[in-house]
Amino acid sequence: MSTPRAAVDVGTNSVRLLVSDADGRRLARELTITRLGTGVDRTGVLDDDALHRTLTTIAGYREQWVAAGVTDRVRIAATSAVRDAGDRDRFFDGVRELTGVDAEVLTGEQEAALTYAGVLGALDVPTPAAVVDVGGGSTELVVGDVAGTVVGSVSLQLGCVRLAEHHLVSDPPTLVEWRAARATVDERLAEADAGLSVQHADLGGARTLVAVAGTATTLAALHLDLPEYLEERIHATRIPTPALLELTDRLARMTSAQRAALGPVQPGREDVLHGGALVLSRVAQRYGFADVVVSEADILDGLAASLA
């Protein structure tokens, strides 16, 4: 008989937990913003305080999965921040000491495949579909075929934390900063075009663009004018591209404090949300999508499914 399982996604901005029972039903899903990627792009090493916050969070998650009866089916996967850090062993050693689990760093290709599997397992959308995952330090673009098989993917050094640290330093950002950030996004997307072309994948040929992760889900909540973050309302929401562009522009004109005051914006996301919105809106605009479908299911669900 199969046993419960737990998956942990350690991102640049947040750490998330999904505990599922033997039949794949959710027992717990948690998100904590720890900003593990603080300064990594500039220093090449992990920030002490950010690492401490992250390890403390993972230790707390361990208590949850043990209480749910999870024994050996645990997968802890890290992405951009740990991938880029020269002292990543500090993270691995800390996780092993606190949980007894060997964490892993996903390649961009693994990240893309797991994200796509998580999305298609939870959404019924017209195919071929493309998925965009705007993270804190990287953005993954995944293209599938009509059968739902991944045919191409790229991982870009582009994310909401990275953009904020490099370009969006004023509060709110100046027009010069915003234009520089937009130019960087467009440069990275041109790289994506080249990378996908080599794989004979065409993102613009997809019928549906699905967006996952915190930037997209928060934007969906704001688009719906929700008073707070309500996952069941957010999943499968369609944001028309014109509305996404308008929302991005509005967020760019706000201060961090003003964004923080918006009900669905989780603490710790207010100073980078506008950068993530810029990435997502430029993707939708560049490839001519009329709207973006937002999915609560993502790489975390793919990780959990891989343990079945």
Structure tokens at 49: 């305080």
Q: What is the pLDDT of residue 234?
A: 95
Report the SS3 class of residue 222.
helix
Q: 22 pLDDT exceeds 60?
A: yes
Across the chain, what does the average pLDDT equal?
92
Which phi and psi (to 5°) does residue 245 adopt? Answer: -65, -40
Structure tokens at 240: 């028309």
Digit-coded pLDDT (tens) for 31-88 = 999 999 888 878 999 999 999 999 999 999 999 999 999 988 999 999 878 988 999 9
Q: 1 pLDDT exceeds 50?
A: no
The DSSP secondary structure of 1-23, one letter per residue, reads ----EEEEEE-SSEEEEEEE-TT
Report the SS3 class of residue 100.
coil
Which phi and psi (to 5°) does residue 209 adopt? Answer: -110, 120
Give the Å distances, CA to CA, from 137 to 36, 85, 210: 10, 12, 19
Domain covering 5-105: architecture: 2-Layer Sandwich (3.30)
Give the Å distances, CA to CA, from 122 to 236, 251, 304: 9, 29, 13
Q: What is the pLDDT of residue 250?
A: 97
* Average confidence (pLDDT) over 91-114: 91
Q: 305 pLDDT exceeds 50?
A: yes
Confidence label for 21 from pLDDT (cuts 50, 70 and 90): confident
8 Å CB contact between 223 and 163: no
Q: 2 pLDDT exceeds 70?
A: no
% of the chain exceeding 90 in pLDDT: 73
Segments in the chain forming alpha helices (H): 40-43, 48-67, 80-84, 89-99, 108-120, 160-166, 175-198, 214-223, 231-234, 241-252, 256-260, 273-286, 299-306
Task: Name the nearest CA neighbour of 296 among 232, 209, 206.
Answer: 232
Please state whether the peptide bond connecting residue 128 to the residue before it is cis, i.e. omega within 30 degrees of 0: yes
CA–CA dist 140, 158 (Å, integer): 9
Name beta bridge partners: 8.
Answer: 17, 76
Give the Å distances, CA to CA, from 153 to 36, 37, 162, 200, 226: 25, 23, 20, 10, 33
Give the Å distances, CA to CA, from 165 to 137, 234, 260, 268, 269: 10, 28, 18, 14, 13
| Fold adopted by 108-300 | Nucleotidyltransferase; domain 5 (3.30.420)
* Average confidence (pLDDT) over 195-216: 93
Digit-coded pLDDT (tens) for 129-182 = 999 999 888 899 999 998 888 999 998 989 898 999 899 999 999 999 999 999
Digit-coded pLDDT (tens) for 220-272 = 999 999 999 998 899 999 999 999 999 999 999 999 999 999 999 999 899 99
CA–CA dist 171, 168 (Å, integer): 8
Domains of the chain by residue range? 5-105, 108-300
Report the SS3 class of residue 99.
helix
Q: What is the pLDDT of residue 58?
A: 97
Report the SS3 class of residue 291.
strand
Report the SS3 class of residue 83.
helix
